[in-house]
Amino acid sequence: MALRKLDVRGAKCPIPIVKAKKEIDAMAPGDQLEVTSTDPGSMPDFVGWAKVAKTALLKEQHTGKDETGRELYIHLLERK
């Protein structure tokens, strides 16, 4: 089972979900995608998208900080 990583730091909505959707669609079922964003709006947006997404399952979300102290919002998704 593969883990892909997607870095969308600095990007604002809709970019994180547009890119995540593209990745997920190209993945095999069971593969996981970790999305790293700096947009706090990405937290509720990924939750909302996961409710309607046909191929993405939101596994978990958490926050951290990067080396410059910037808040990071991390979304772990699984290809259904």
Partner 1 sequence: MVDEDKDEPATPASVEVGELLPRLDRGEPVVLLDVRNLDEYESWKLEPRRPVETVHVPYFDFIEDGDAALARVPRGRELVVLCAKGGSSEMVVELLKDAGVRAANIAGGMIAYGIYLEPVKLPLEHDEAGRFELWQVNRRGKGCLSYVIVSGGEAVVVDPSRHAGWYEAFARARGARVVQVLDTHVHADHVSGGPELARRAQAPYYVAAGDGFELRHAVAPLRDGQQIRLGGDGGVAIEVRVIRTPGHTPGSTSFLVGGRYLLTGDTLFVASVGRPDLGGHVAEWGRELYASLTQRLADLPAGTRVLPAHFASQAEIGAEGVVWGRLGELRASVPELQLGDAAAFVEAVRGAVKEPPAAYAEIIQVNLGAPASDDQIALWELGKNQCAASAHRSGRA
Residues annotated as part of the active site: 13
Residue 14 lies near partner 1 (rule: CB under 8 A): yes
Does position 30 bind partner 1 by CB under 8 A? Answer: no
CA–CA separation, 23 vs 34, rounded Å?
10
Distance, in Å, from the CA atom of 74 to the CA atom of 64, rounded to the nearest integer, reads 8
CB of 54 to partner 1, least distance (A): 7
Cβ atoms of 42 and 71 within 8 Å: the answer is no
Binding site for partner 1 (CB under 8 A): 12-15, 17-18, 21, 40-41, 44-45, 47-49, 52-54
